[in-house]
Amino acid sequence: MPSDKAVKCARVALAQWDRSTAVNMVAIAGAESGWNPDPGGDSPAMLQAAGYTESAVQAATFNCPSTWNGHASWGWWQIFMPVHKAMLESIGAPVLLGPCEVTIWLQQPVNNAKAAAQVLKSQGYGAWTVFKTMAYLQYLDEAKEAVAVVLREEDHPGEIPGQTTRTGVPFFALIGLGTFGLVRWLSKRV
């Protein structure tokens, strides 16, 4: 049985991607953040110590808090803010307000998924070190299970205990699906 954190990530991922992509992205999120939307990573100090001098310099230009130990990557998919500032601004992140405001924005799972979708589209899975090193593979089985749980909930919403809408669909089963997920769910019923 997958963890609640993995299932929550799968719900957001399925609103953004098809099933197989969602499985991979949930596994990548597990390896990057343990399915915790809040952690920061990639401080300039840590990158410098690991020998990533160029990345350390980039991280020093845009991190939160703006210090040598501040974090430049945030959220489930650890979006590296300095490299993706223009993209983040284009999808609604408050870049002009500074890195700490972008951090808060990226800690919202739906926003982090939007940013991850743009990164995936422009750079592919190789944008994530955990994919290149295959570290995501240790999360792949749980990611598959989490995606399957969410898809079962969508296919059999009447079997989910809880309050229902006038149509008999549990209200909370519709919350968090996002536009794509809701449209996909509705298309199965028409």
- For residue 160, being part of any structural domain is answered with yes
- For residue 114, being part of any structural domain is answered with no
- Looking at the structure, do residues 135 and 103 belong to the same domain, yes or no? no
- For residue 117, being part of any structural domain is answered with no
- Looking at the structure, do residues 86 and 138 belong to the same domain, yes or no? no
- Looking at the structure, do residues 55 and 86 belong to the same domain, yes or no? yes
Strands of the sheet with 73-74, listed across from one edge = 40-41, 73-74, 79-80
- For residue 118, being part of any structural domain is answered with no
Closest among 128, 173, 170, 163 to 31, alpha carbons compared = 128
- Looking at the structure, do residues 65 and 21 belong to the same domain, yes or no? no
- Looking at the structure, do residues 44 and 103 belong to the same domain, yes or no? yes
- For residue 179, being part of any structural domain is answered with yes
Cis peptide before 94 (omega within 30 of 0): no
| pLDDT band of 163, cuts 50, 70, 90 | very low
Task: Assess contact for 108 and 114: CB atoms under 8 A.
Answer: no
How many domains would you assign to the chain? 2
Residue found by looking up tokens 């990548």 in the block? 28
Residue 74 DSSP label: E
- Looking at the structure, do residues 101 and 152 belong to the same domain, yes or no? no
% of the chain beyond a pLDDT of 90: 62
Cα–Cα separations (whole angstroms), residue 32 to 76, 96, 144, 171: 7, 26, 17, 31
- Looking at the structure, do residues 45 and 91 belong to the same domain, yes or no? yes
- Looking at the structure, do residues 64 and 104 belong to the same domain, yes or no? yes
Beta strands in the chain (DSSP E): 40-41, 73-74, 79-80
Mean pLDDT rounded to a whole number for the chain: 85
- For residue 60, being part of any structural domain is answered with yes
- For residue 120, being part of any structural domain is answered with no
d(CA 166, CA 145): 30
Domain membership of residue 47 as a residue range: 40-74+79-108
- Looking at the structure, do residues 101 and 46 belong to the same domain, yes or no? yes
- Looking at the structure, do residues 15 and 62 belong to the same domain, yes or no? no
- For residue 56, being part of any structural domain is answered with yes
**Residue 13 pLDDT more than 90?**
yes
| pLDDT band of 43, cuts 50, 70, 90 | confident
- Looking at the structure, do residues 31 and 1 belong to the same domain, yes or no? yes
The pTM for the full model equals 0.77
Task: Assess contact for 79 and 106: CB atoms under 8 A.
Answer: yes
In the Cβ-directed half-sphere of 176, how many Cα atoms lie within 13 Å?
A: 17
Cα–Cα separations (whole angstroms), residue 114 to 9, 69, 96, 105, 128: 13, 26, 19, 11, 15
- Looking at the structure, do residues 94 and 47 belong to the same domain, yes or no? yes
